[in-house]
Amino acid sequence: MIHLKYETRNFDTLKCMKEDQAKQRIEKLKQEIHYHRRLYFVEDRQEISDSALDSLKHELVQLEKEYPDLITHDSPSQRIGGEPLSAFKKVTHTERMLSLNDAFSFDEVKEWEGRLIRLLGTKQWSYFVDVKFDGLAMSIMYENGVFARAATRGDGIIGEDVTQNVRTIESIPLKLEGKSIPRRVEVRGEVMMMKDEFERVNKQLKKDNKEIYANPRNLSAGSIRQLDPKITASRKLRFFGWDVETSPWGVSDETWQRHVSRSDQYEFLKSFGIPTSGHHAVCHTLDEVEKIYHKIERIREKLPYWIDGIVVKVNEIDVAQKAGIVGKAPRAAVAWKFPAEEVTTVVKDIQVQVGRTGVLTPVALFEPVRVAGTTVSRATLHNQAEIDRLGVRIGDTVIIRKAGDIIPEVVQVLPKLRPRSARPFRIPSACPICHSRIESKKIGKGEQGVGLYCTNKQCFAQQVNALIHFVSRSAFDMRGLKDKLIELFVQQGLISEPADLFDLTVDALKILKGFKNKKARNIVDAIQSRTHISLDRFIYALGIPQVGAQTARALANDLKSLNNLKSATEDALMAIEDIGPIVAKNVREWFCDRLHQQIITRLLSKIAIESQTGKAQSKKLQGLIFVFTGELSEYSREEAEELVRSLGGKAMSSVSKDTDYVVVGDGPGSKLTKAEQLGVKVVDEGEFVKMTRV
C-alpha cells in the first residue's frame, strides 16, 4: 500500500496538473481511501484520523471535478450524489432470496435437527452459527469485482433496485479486494442502523418536529427507500455480509470452487473487504450451538447493533442443497429467536380510546421503554374485565412484554411496589370525547365478551376512525390519506361522513396550512380514482361491527347486491356460511339505523358498486382446502383467506389429513411441522399467487 501525505491540496495546484498526472493521483487516492475504509469497517481499527480521511476524499472530489472523464464507478466520490429518483425499479433476483423458519426454544431446534436427520439419513454435518441481524436484507451484485447493483429482498423473487442509495454506505466496498474474484458475484447481507446513529437520527427528527421511528429496522428500511440518495447518505448506515454466491453458481475459478462450507464463504467475504459480524462459529453438536446462543444472548445489549437471535445453518453447502427448500425457507437453516423481552415500567395514566364503532378501550400509558428492540409507551388493557383481572392501578409497577415481538401487553402487576398514591381505574359512564351516554353490548363469551359503546353516532372520535377505516387498504384503498390528514379534515369541518370525501376540491385543501397545489391535487386524485368499488369492499368499508373483509366477502357472494343485503332478515343472514347471530344482529341493526341509511344514500350518489356476479364466476379452487402459516408479504391473513373463498376454496385454521395445501409465509409456526408429518403439500406465497391468478 502506497501511503500519501494527508494534507488538502490547493485547488489551483490541481488545475495545473496534466491529465496523466491527475490520473495517477486519482488512482493513488482511491487506493488509499479504500485501504482506510477496510481498516475501519472490516478490521475495526484506524491509522489516520477521520478529518485526515475527509481531506483525502476532498482532494479526490476536486480532482474529479477538474477531470470528470476520470470518474469511475468504484470511486469513493460516487457514494454520495445522484439525482433524486421518482420511483424504484423492480429487480428479479438471480437466485431466490429465502427467509428463515423460526425456533423459539432449544427443543424446537432439536426438532429441526430431527427432521433433517429423517430427511438426509445419518448426521454427517456441522453447524455454522452467526448472529441474526435485526435489519434489512440486501442483495449486492458485483461485475468483474465492481459494485453493479443492489436490491431489497422484496418477496424473495422480485425486489426493488436501490443501487444509488446502497452505494452511499461506506462499509460496502465499491470494488472487491483480492486476486481470485469471480466474473460475477453476489453478496447478501443486512443493512443496519447502529444504536448510536439510531438515537442521533431520532433526536434530529424530534428536533425538526417530525415523526420519530420506533425501531431501527423501520429506520433502516425508510432510509434505504429514500428517493434522494443524499438523505440515505446522511443516515450513516452499515452493511454486514452473511452469504456470497456466484451467478451462475458454477464458475471455472479453482480457488473460488473450494468454498464448500458456510465458514469458507465468510473467509471469502473477509478477503473481499466485506464486513461480517465477527461472532460466527462452527459447531459440531447442538449442545455447542446452545452455548453460543447463551453467550450471544448475554452480550447482545453490549453490541453496537440490534440482533434478535442467532442463525444456525448446516455448514456443508452440498448437504444443505440436498435438503432443499420448503415454502420460503431452506430446510438446512433455522433462526433461533431470543425470547420476548420483558421490562418493568410504571403506569402513569390509563386513558380511554373511542373506536370507529364507538367501542371504548382502556389503554395504559407509561414512560417509553424498549421492549424487543422497539420503543413503546402504551399497551391495551382491552376492557374493564381485563383491568380487574390484572388488578392494575394508576401508579403501579407492571411488567410489559411484546406478544410475539409485535404487540405490547401488560403481563403482570407487581403489587409489592405499589405506592400509597396508586389509584384504581374505572371506565367512565360517559364518552370521554363527546360526553354522551355509553351502553354495554354483548360481543363474545363471558366477561371479556362485553364491550362498552358511545351512543352518539356523530362523536368526533367515531367520525375520524370510521373515515380512517373507510379509506383503508381493504376498503376504498385511498392511498396517501393518512390518519392525521383525516383527523385534520374533520377538525376543519371539511368532512364528517364518507360522501364528503368525494366533494373535496384542490381549492378547499389549499387553504389548509402546508397544502400546496401538488399535494392537494394528489389527494383529490387519489379519492376520485376510487369511485368504482366491488360490493364486498363497499360492505367492509361501512364499518359494521364485527364485519371484517372475510365476512363482507361472504355477504357479497351470497346476497349479490346491496339491496338484498339491506332487506335481509336476521334468519336469512344466519343462513349464510360463517355468519352467526351476533354478526347477523349487527348487520340488521346497522342498516335499520336512519343515520346510516342517509350515509349510504349520499354515498351512492358519488360512487358506483361493481357487480359481484362477475367477481365470483371463477372457481379455480373449488373444493380445495387451504391453511396459512407465517406472515405473507402481499396479503394480510384475512385477505388471503378471503381470496381462497372467492375462488371456491375453503380456508381453515388448522391442518388435518383433509388439507390440500399449506401456504407458508415468513416465520411459520407449528402448522408447517404438522403439514410435513401428514404429508400435506406445502407451497410458498409465490406459488399461491400463481394458483389464484384468474
Task: Encode pLDDT of 363-396 as tens digits.
Answer: 999 988 877 656 789 998 988 988 999 999 999 9
Residue 132 catalytic?
yes
Query: In the CATH scheme, what architecture does the domain 102-337 have?
Result: 2-Layer Sandwich (3.30)
- The radius of gyration of the chain's CA atoms, rounded to the nearest angstrom, is 29
CATH number for the domain running over 625-692? 3.40.50.10190
Question: Alpha helix (H) ranges present in 416-548?
Answer: 460-470, 483-491, 498-501, 506-510, 517-528, 535-541
pTM of the model: 0.49
Average pLDDT score over the chain: 85
Dihedral sign of CA atoms 512, 515, 521, 523 in order:
negative
Q: Which of 21, 185, 154, 30 is nearest to 88 (CA)?
A: 154
Residue 35 has pLDDT above 70, yes or no: yes
Distance of CA 660 to the CA centre of its chain: 29
SS3 666: strand
The answer to whether domain 11-79 has CATH 1.10.287.610 is yes
- How is residue 595 written as a grid cell? 343515520
Q: Which residues, 6+ apart, have CB-to-CB distance to 256 below 8 Å? A: 180, 182, 246, 268
CA nearest neighbour of 525 among 497, 506, 538: 506
pLDDT per position as a tens digit, 205-219: 888 888 887 678 788
pLDDT score of 228: 87
Asked if 402 and 374 touch (Cβ cutoff 8 Å), the reply is: yes
β strands within 224-265, DSSP E: 238-246
| Helix residue ranges, H only, 194-333 | 195-207, 216-224, 229-234, 254-257, 262-272, 286-299, 317-323
Q: What is the pLDDT of residue 251?
A: 47
| Residue in the structure block whose three cell numbers are 438515537 | 199
User: Out of 57, 132, 175, 650, which one is annotated catalytic?
Assistant: 132
The answer to whether the beta carbons of residues 498 and 603 sit under 8 Å apart is yes
Q: How far is the C-alpha of 257 from the C-alpha of 631, rounded, in Å?
A: 36
Q: Which helix (H) or strand (E) holds 108?
A: helix 106-120
Cβ neighbours of 582 (radius 10 Å): 15
Where does the pLDDT of residue 50 fall: very low under 50, low under 70, confident under 90, or very high at 90 and above?
A: low
- Please check whether the domain covering 342-450 is classified as CATH 3.40.640.10: no
Q: Which amino acid is at 477?
A: D
- The pLDDT confidence band at residue 347, using thresholds 50, 70 and 90, is very high
Contacting residues for 691 by C-beta, under 8 A, at least 6 apart? 620, 621, 661, 683
Q: Which of 228, 271, 269 is nearest to 83 (CA)?
A: 228
- Contact of 620 with 690, CB cutoff 8 Å: no
**What is the distance between the alpha carbons of residues 475 and 342, in angstroms, rounded to a whole number?**
36
**For residues 527-537, average pLDDT:** 93
- In sequence order, the β-bridge partners of residue 139 are 151, 188
460-614 has CATH 1.10.150.20 classification:
yes
| Residues forming beta bridges with residue 336, ordered by sequence position | 103, 310
Amino acid of residue 619: K
Cβ-based neighbours of 342, under 8 Å, separated by 6 or more? 371, 399, 400, 401, 411
Q: Give the burial class of 78: count Cβ atoms within 10 A of its Cβ; 0-12 exposed, 13-18 middle, 19 or more buried.
A: middle
pLDDT digits (tens, 9 = 90+) for 557-607: 899 999 999 999 999 999 998 798 989 999 999 999 999 999 999 999 999
| pLDDT for position 443 | 64
Residue 41's nearest CA partner among 210, 238, 333 is: 238
For residue 617, the Cα-to-chain-centroid distance in whole angstroms is: 34
Question: Residues with Cβ < 8 Å from 503, sequence gap 6 or more?
Answer: 606
The lowest-confidence range among 69-78, 223-232, 464-473, 525-534 is: 69-78
83 secondary structure, DSSP code: P
CB distance 145 to 181 below 8 Å: yes
CB 191 within 8 A of CB 239: yes
State pLDDT tens for residues 602-651: 999 999 998 765 444 457 888 899 999 887 877 777 778 877 877 888 88
Taking the chain, what is the end-to-end CA distance rounded to the nearest angstrom?
61
Output the CA–CA distances (angstroms, integers) from residue 678 to 404, 561, 595, 668, in the order listed. Answer: 27, 41, 53, 16
> Are 398 and 364 in contact, with CB atoms under 8 Å apart?
yes
The percent of residues above 70 in pLDDT, for the chain, comes to 88
Phi and psi at residue 512, to the nearest 5°: -70, 150
Domain limits, the chain: 11-79, 102-337, 342-450, 460-614, 625-692
Q: How far apart are CA 369 and CA 400, in angstroms?
A: 9
